[in-house]
């Protein structure tokens, strides 16, 4: 792992631990324990890492970005907790461990998701180093990309499409919301914290759309070809529920080609930024050229 | 109904309609339709009404408060949708209609709740008439009082206590989160929008704590004595699930006396504000002296 990633990961995990520290008091103890179970699982920390990578290249101290980066990881984690619930995807495994509702009662998992979603906005509103306009821009970016126009909208399309014959256009719209949503937010976060111009924010937004879809295409490929052991979650579950995926629509090879083309498009968007973005380029490569 | 309430209600309902307007596009149409089903049900609009009442008494144009007031109603509605789910309170009736998960699939209801929660923060971040500091203060107040220290924390205590023998102290802490949380937020919203001093915000906070608990005590009384027809929800359900309530702990008469004492305490806190608060006083009275 690159030293940037190693250091970033340590800082992010440290801050996540601090933000949801252990407590012996009601109602914090049962909420925080459950939140820590999901939040401190060995995930990729991809979205926080993207925020820090943008700031680093803009010459901004990583400390300015850590709380907002953690807010993104909270939103990502809440979405996994809710998506895994029996009434949604009904998954038993996540990040190599039993899903939260397998360890706690279902209501406890649902409420923990609600808590992480709400808490993300609380910590954005009090993030250090940033002025009121920046904090407000972060709140707006997160709410938009995590909401109906982003992640929740994508999940809605996903669940409505179960067992339906959908075309590539609908699948792309779904991925653009469900997966690109928070990745766009991560890149915008980096831009906002770095005081980027609106042109630069626009380029980051476009790069996020492209790399997010590519990332999901590779997920579909791995869901088709991978083993449960390397992925740490139940595989082939999309096929089982007869969900359309990129692989089922385009075939394995064309899906890989499309992901590669989107990666190049995302990198081309980075080239229009006022600073060179070597860390972001590296992360983008890893997002597409991976085994799990 | 007082003319203030009549006018406020019309404006609030109009803005809620506008904020979640009908759409024919995916994924907005299925999300917005479900959100409208719950949000536009004939509720009391108590929390938005409290925001407008504070602003009115501070001499601030109601228009400045309408979007934030609607955000509060969205949070209240999301909490009802999630609380009614089978894994939580498993309720079939709400505001005189089938609960959302009885009309849509369960995942659809869950996702609609997540959407309303997220959207509330989005509209706060772009609320007109307010400066960045005010909008940020609203985001912070909402996240705090709707989160672990407020509504979600109260709900956690509620569900953990099912079938347990709890005392008045725990019950009070539960109500302080679950019911007072959003009521405190409503009064703080009014103060923030009106540019109130921190002393005034503190008084509004205290008034909200007291009247919120009193409001819940009367709920417990009505749950015990009321009929399903006047309440519009399944009654006696707390008793059925052997939940401790104020009535089961204190008895009917002492619960009423306590509610009345808290009402007077809330009003006493209003007296310390720089403006007189006749509308708030009227709403507080109605919250305690009601049949449904």
Q: What is the average per-residue pLDDT within B175-184?
A: 97
Q: How far apart are CA A115 and CA B238, in angstroms?
A: 24
Provide the pLDDT for residue A182: 98
Of B82, B115, B121, the CB nearest to A114: B82
pLDDT digits (tens, 9 = 90+) for A64-104: 999 999 999 999 999 999 999 999 999 999 888 999 999 99
Q: Compute the count of residue pairs across chains A and B with CB atoms less than 8 Å apart.
A: 158
**ipTM of the complex in this document:** 0.95
Top-ranked range on mean pLDDT: pick from A24-33, A144-153, A224-233, B220-229: A144-153
pLDDT digits (tens, 9 = 90+) for A167-194: 999 999 999 999 999 999 999 999 999 9
Provide the pLDDT for residue A7: 95
Range A107-132 burial, b when 16+ CB lie within 10 A, else e: bbbbbbbbbbbbbbbbbbbebeebee
Judge whether A23 is closer than 8 Å to chain B, CB to CB.
no
Q: Please report which confidence band the pLDDT of residue B229 belongs to, taking 50, 70 and 90 as the band edges.
A: low
Of A107, A136, A142, the CB nearest to B135: A136
Q: What is the average per-residue pLDDT within B166-190?
A: 96
Instruction: Give the chain B residue whose CA is nearest to the CA of A141.
Output: B122
Q: Is the pLDDT of residue B111 over 70?
A: yes
Please report, rounded to a whole number, the percentage of residues in chain B having pLDDT higher than 70.
94
Nearest to A178 by CA among A60, A245, A79, A266: A79
Provide the pLDDT for residue A234: 61
Strands B93-94 and A97-98: unpaired
Q: How far apart are CA B157 and CA B160, in angstroms?
A: 5
The minimum CA-CA distance between A255 and chain B, rounded to whole Å, is 24
DSSP, collapsed to helix, strand or coil, labels residue B289 as coil
The minimum CA-CA distance between A29 and chain B, rounded to whole Å, is 10
**Contact by Cβ (8 Å): B273, B200:** yes
Q: What is the average per-residue pLDDT within A5-17?
A: 95
Q: How far apart are the first and last CA of chain A?
A: 15
Provide the pLDDT for residue B235: 56
Q: Please report which confidence band the pLDDT of residue B240 belongs to, taking 50, 70 and 90 as the band edges.
A: low
- B98, β-bridge pairs: B93
**Contact by Cβ (8 Å): B28, A156:** no
Q: Are the beta carbons of B27 and A85 separated by less than 8 Å?
A: no
Surface of B (86-105) touching A: CB under 8 A:
87-88, 105
Q: What is the average per-residue pLDDT within A7-12?
A: 96
Judge whether B140 is closer than 8 Å to chain A, CB to CB.
yes
Quickly count: other Cβ atoms within 10 Å of residue B59's Cβ: 8
Provide the pLDDT for residue A28: 83
pLDDT digits (tens, 9 = 90+) for A233-280: 665 565 555 678 899 999 999 999 999 999 999 999 999 999 999 999
Q: How far apart are CA A157 and CA B235, in angstroms?
A: 36
Provide the pLDDT for residue A242: 66
Name the DSSP letter for residue B159. H
Judge whether B19 is closer than 8 Å to chain A, CB to CB.
no
HSE toward the beta carbon, residue B97, CA cutoff 13 A: 15
Q: How far apart are CA B126 and CA A136, in angstroms?
A: 9
**Contact by Cβ (8 Å): B108, B37:** no
Instruction: Decide which of B143 and A227 is more confident.
Output: B143
Of A121, A135, A157, the CB nearest to B26: A157
A180 backbone dihedrals φ, ψ, rounded to 5°: -65, -30
Q: How far apart are CA B120 and CA B107, in angstroms?
A: 20
DSSP string, A118-170: HHHHHHHHT-TT--HHHHHHHHHHHHHHHSTTTHHHHHHHHHHTTTS---HHH
pLDDT digits (tens, 9 = 90+) for A161-173: 988 889 999 999 9
Residues of A in contact with B105 (CB under 8 A): 87, 159
The minimum CA-CA distance between B153 and chain A, rounded to whole Å, is 5
Please state at what angle helix A151-160 crosses helix B28-39, rounded to 10 degrees.
100
Instruction: Give the chain A residue whose CA is nearest to the CA of B133.
Output: A132
Judge whether B162 is closer than 8 Å to chain A, CB to CB.
no
Domain count, chain A: 1
Angle at B99 between CA A143 and CA B177, to 5 degrees: 60
B98 backbone dihedrals φ, ψ, rounded to 5°: -60, 145
pLDDT digits (tens, 9 = 90+) for A52-62: 999 999 999 99
HSE toward the beta carbon, residue A190, CA cutoff 13 A: 32
Residues of A in contact with B132 (CB under 8 A): 132-133, 136
**Contact by Cβ (8 Å): B48, B12:** yes
**Residue B15 lies in domain:** 3-288
Q: What is the average per-residue pLDDT within B97-122?
A: 97
Q: Examine residue B292 and say whether the peptide bond preceding it is cis (omega within 30 degrees of 0).
A: no
Q: What is the average per-residue pLDDT within A204-210?
A: 98
Q: Please report which confidence band the pLDDT of residue B54 belongs to, taking 50, 70 and 90 as the band edges.
A: very high
Judge whether B159 is closer than 8 Å to chain A, CB to CB.
yes
Judge whether A177 is closer than 8 Å to chain B, CB to CB.
yes
Q: Are the beta carbons of A122 and B111 separated by less than 8 Å?
A: no
Q: Are the beta carbons of B136 and A140 separated by less than 8 Å?
A: no
Judge whether B244 is closer than 8 Å to chain A, CB to CB.
no
Of A28, A88, A136, the CB nearest to B110: A88
B97 backbone dihedrals φ, ψ, rounded to 5°: -125, 165
Q: What is the mean pLDDT of chain B?
A: 93
Name the DSSP letter for residue B94. E
B188 backbone dihedrals φ, ψ, rounded to 5°: -60, -40
Q: Is the pLDDT of residue B69 over 70?
A: yes
Q: How far apart are CA B142 and CA B192, in angstroms?
A: 12
The minimum CA-CA distance between B4 and chain A, rounded to whole Å, is 32
Q: How far apart are CA A244 and CA A231, in angstroms?
A: 20
**Contact by Cβ (8 Å): B110, A124:** no
Q: What is the average per-residue pLDDT within B167-176?
A: 95
Q: What is the average per-residue pLDDT within B40-54?
A: 94
The minimum CA-CA distance between B80 and chain A, rounded to whole Å, is 13
Q: Is the pLDDT of residue A226 over 90?
A: no
Name the DSSP letter for residue B93. E
Provide the pLDDT for residue A228: 54
Residue B96: give its domain's CATH number: 1.10.600.10
Contacts of A274 (CB under 8 A, 6+ apart): A197, A200
Provide the pLDDT for residue B24: 78
Contacts of B6 (CB under 8 A, 6+ apart): none
Q: Are the beta carbons of B144 and A136 separated by less than 8 Å?
A: no
């Amino acid at each position: 792992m690159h030293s940037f990633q190693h250091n970033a990961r340590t800082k992010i995990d440290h801050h996540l631990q601090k933000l949801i520290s252990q407590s012996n008091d009601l109602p914090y103890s049962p909420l925080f324990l459950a939140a820590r179970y999901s939040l401190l699982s060995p995930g990729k920390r991809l979205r926080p890492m993207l925020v820090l990578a943008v700031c680093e290249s803009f010459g901004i101290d990583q400390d300015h970005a850590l709380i907002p980066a953690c807010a993104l990881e909270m939103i990502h984690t809440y979405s996994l907790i809710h998506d895994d619930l029996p009434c949604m995807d009904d998954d038993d495994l996540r990040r190599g461990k039993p899903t939260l509702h397998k360890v706690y009662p279902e209501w406890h998992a649902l409420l923990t998701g609600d808590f992480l979603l709400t808490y993300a906005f609380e910590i954005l509103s009090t993030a250090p180093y940033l002025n009121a306009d920046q904090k407000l821009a972060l709140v707006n970016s997160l709410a938009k990309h995590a909401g109906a126009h982003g992640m929740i909208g994508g999940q809605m399309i996903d669940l409505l499409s179960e067992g339906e014959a959908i075309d590539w256009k609908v699948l792309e719209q779904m991925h653009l919301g469900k997966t690109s949503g928070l990745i766009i937010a991560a890149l915008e976060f980096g831009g906002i914290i770095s005081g980027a111009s609106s042109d630069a924010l626009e380029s980051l937004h476009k790069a996020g759309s492209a790399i997010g879809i590519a990332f999901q295409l590779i997920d579909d490929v791995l869901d088709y070809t991978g083993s449960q052991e390397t992925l740490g979650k139940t595989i082939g579950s999309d096929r089982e529920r007869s969900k359309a995926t990129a692989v089922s629509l385009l075939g394995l090879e064309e899906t890989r080609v499309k992901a590669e083309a989107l990666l190049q498009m995302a990198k081309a968007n980075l080239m229009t930024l006022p600073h060179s973005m070597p860390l972001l380029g590296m992360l983008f490569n890893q997002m597409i050229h991976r085994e799990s």
